[in-house]
Amino acid sequence: MTLRTYEELVRELIELEKQFPPPNESECFADARWFEERWGTAEFEPYRGTHVAVLNGTVVGHGRNSLQLRRDLVREHDIHPQRFIIVYIPTRGL
Q: Where are the domains of the chain?
A: 6-89
Helix or strand run (H / E) with residue 12 = helix 6-17
> What global pTM score does this model have?
0.89
Q: What is the pLDDT of residues 24-63, one digit of tens each?
A: 999 999 999 999 999 989 999 999 999 999 999 999 999 9
Q: What is the mean pLDDT of the chain?
A: 94
The predicted pLDDT at position 92 comes to 82
Nearest to residue 53, comparing CAs of 22, 28, 17, 25?
Answer: 28
Of all residues in the chain, what percent are helix, strand and coil, respectively (each to 5)?
A: 50, 20, 30
The beta strands (E) that lie in 32-93 are given as: 50-55, 58-63, 85-89
**Stretch 70-88: mean pLDDT, rounded?**
97
pLDDT at 94 over 60: no
Contact between residue 89 and residue 61 where contact means Cβ atoms under 8 Å apart? no
pLDDT at 8 over 70: yes
Higher-scoring residue by pLDDT: 68, 3: 68
At 16, which amino acid appears?
L
